Amino acid sequence: MATQSSKVGKELRGMIKGSVLIPDDPGYEEARQIWNAMIDRRPAMIVQCANADDVSAAIAFARRNKLEISIRGAGHNIAGNALCNDGLTIDFSNMKNVRVDAGKRRAYVEPGATLANLDEATQAHGLATPVGINSTTGIAGLTLGGGFGWLTRKHGMTIDNLVSVDMVTADGRKIRASETDNPDLFWAIRGGGGNFGVVTQFEFQLFPVGPEIFAGLIVFPFSQAKQILNKYRQFVNSAPEELNVWVVLRKAPPLPFLPEKIHGKEVVVLPIFYAGAAADAEKLIAPLRAFGDAHGEHLGAQPYVAWQKAFDPLLTPGARNYWKSHNFTELADGAVDSIIEFAGKLPSPQCEIFIGLIAGAPNRIASDAMAYGHRDAKFVLNVHGRWDEAKDDARCMGWARDFFKASAPYASAGAYVNFMTAEEGDRVAAAYGANYDRLVQIKKHYDPDNIFHLNQNIKP
Ligand SMILES: Cc1cc2nc3c(=O)[nH]c(=O)nc-3n(C[C@H](O)[C@H](O)[C@H](O)COP(=O)(O)OP(=O)(O)OC[C@H]3O[C@@H](n4cnc5c(N)ncnc54)[C@H](O)[C@@H]3O)c2cc1C
């Protein structure tokens, strides 16, 4: 089957401006690598598009030849849906351009761009829009699922700042979606993932940020976890939205500012971000320093683009990864207890539990304003199972699943689709809650044959 489809793939070469890779081509193996090393899929052809016409041609070609379609932004999605087996992958590795109109405070972003590509282009003008915390993540997948990061408390989710998209639909049409053009489609793609068509350009609104911000880490002993988490949940209730503080529980990496004897030991880390002057930040974070007896800290003014890359060394591609996630409106006592229990039995040095704070601007948007509807969520918990060897799969995945179950009673309804694994298809309806029925209607209109189904699928 794969060989036959690959032969067909050669025909596509003459029809597009970009390139088509089939197995045995130089570059094919590299092109089928994605962030999560647990995913090992072999598309019959990888179509490295050069423009929207190539996308149209690839969709038509896949339909004619009855090939399954997958869409790859920057290949970070944990579920591995960027790739298919024996089908056609629409790959945006060669479409990473970001254009900034500083006067209008807008960025026009191609779908292969990473967060680093966007941040670097916008920061050249002292501008930014909220995106995630790992610079190699793709703008496309992140935006279509929601998108949150350090600026989210102040400026909202990534989708809250999306102005328009250019798309190619399942029937190959090139259309625009915004509040005024195809508004139903625009409603659906803001959280509905890659279910409705292929985005070939994103337009974002931008805000003045940095270029220098205040950020860094305070690292506390795990033995003080309970008092830190108790104080944290009180502190963030009244902290200004310019300040964002997350919590990470993990084994300490060999950071130079930590005593060597702490390396590899469980710790509680508070990553801190303040989009303003260092002197103001110092005053605001004084209470955080008093949460416990810190092992060490590394805090200060730094370029926004540098902080956006600060976690990259812990999140490199090539490891095996399995995630589970909950939203929380508050960190209840039971949630805190289960976090501490499972952080006390991390099954590998790379596993971690992180709590992202998104309380603020996202909560001021109505839950039916767009497909992403978790407007009551104040915290997003990510149980990040990460390890190197396949022999540890069952143990590490078991830990993540057990923790997910133990913390479930304290979670709010819904789930963040960008943190869901492939096996969580039965959570999709719950992930969209009351917005699901409208999404099904829009899916029926734009993709009745469900050709875009390698995603957290909304069935027409
Ligand atoms: C290390 C790491 C850190 C992360 N940190 C954050 C974070 O801080 N905040 C956050 O919100 N999320 C975060 N995420 C989750 C991230 O948002 C998702 O994994 C997202 O799907 C990644 O987008 P991508 O383009 O790289 O993924 P891909 O795997 O390339 O794409 C994911 C899916 O999106 C769809 N898609 C991609 N491109 C298009 C397109 N052009 N048109 C239509 N559909 C498309 C497809 O269905 C595809 O399967 C993180 C992920 C990782 C791995």
What pLDDT is recorded for position 7?
A: 72
What pLDDT is recorded for position 4?
A: 63
> Which of 38, 76, 115, 135 is the pocket-test mutation for ligand 1 (most atoms within 8 Å of CB)?
76
> Which of 70, 94, 118, 142 is the pocket-test mutation for ligand 1 (most atoms within 8 Å of CB)?
142
Ligand 1 center to residue 77 CA distance, Å? Answer: 5
Ligand 1 center to residue 76 CA distance, Å? Answer: 5
What pLDDT is recorded for position 455?
A: 95
Closest CA to 254 of 245, 262, 244: 262
State the closest ligand 1 atom to the C-alpha of 80, by its place in the atom list counted from 1.
Answer: 29
State the closest ligand 1 atom to the C-alpha of 158, by its place in the atom list counted from 1.
Answer: 11
| Smallest CA separation from ligand 1 atom 35, residue | 194
State the closest ligand 1 atom to the C-alpha of 167, by its place in the atom list counted from 1.
Answer: 42
What pLDDT is recorded for position 5?
A: 65
- Cβ burial 33-71 (10 Å sphere, 16+ → b, else e): ebbbbbbebbbbbbbbbeebbbbbbbbebbbebebbbbb
CB-based contacts of 313: which residues, under 8 Å, 6+ apart?
253
State the closest ligand 1 atom to the C-alpha of 418, by its place in the atom list counted from 1.
Answer: 18
What pLDDT is recorded for position 9?
A: 77
What pLDDT is recorded for position 30?
A: 97
For 126-160, write each residue's pLDDT tens digit.
999 999 999 999 999 999 999 999 999 999 999 99
Percent of the chain surpassing pLDDT 70:
99
Its pTM surpasses 0.75: yes
Q: Which residues line ligand 1 (CB under 6 A)?
A: 35, 71-78, 81-82, 92, 111, 132-134, 137-138, 140-142, 144-149, 193-194, 198-199, 315, 418, 454-455
Ligand 1 center to residue 223 CA distance, Å? Answer: 35
In this prediction, the residues of the chain whose per-residue pLDDT falls under 50 are 1
Largest CA distance in the chain: 66
Ligand 1 center to residue 372 CA distance, Å? Answer: 15
Task: Encode the chain in three state secondary structure.
Answer: CHHHHHHHHHHHHCCCCCEEECCCCCCHHHHCCCCCCCCCCCCCEEEECCCHHHHHHHHHHHHHCCCCEEEECCCCCCCCCCCCCCCEEEECCCCCCEEEECCCCEEEECCCCEHHHHHHHHHCCCEECCCCCCCCCEHHHHHHHCCCCCCHHHHCCCHHHEEEEEEECCCCCEEEEECCCCHHHHHHHCCCHHHCCEEEEEEEECEECCCEEEEEEEEEEHHHHHHHHHHHHHHHHHCCCCEEECEEEEECCCCCCCCHHHCCCEEEEEEEEECCCHHHHHHHHHHHHCCCCCCEEEEEEEEHHHHCCCCHHHCCCCCEEEEEEEEECCCCHHHHHHHHHHHCCCCCCCCEEEEEECCCHHHHCCCCCCCCCCCCCCEEEEEEEEECCHHHHHHHHHHHHHHHHHHHHHCECCCCHHHCCHHHHHHHHHHHHHHHHHHHHHHHHHCCCCCCCCCCCCCC
Ligand 1 center to residue 449 CA distance, Å? Answer: 24
What pLDDT is recorded for position 406?
A: 97
> Which of 134, 137, 164, 203 is the pocket-test mutation for ligand 1 (most atoms within 8 Å of CB)?
137
For 93-112, write each residue's pLDDT tens digit.
999 999 999 999 999 999 99
What pLDDT is recorded for position 425?
A: 79
Ligand 1 center to residue 89 CA distance, Å? Answer: 15
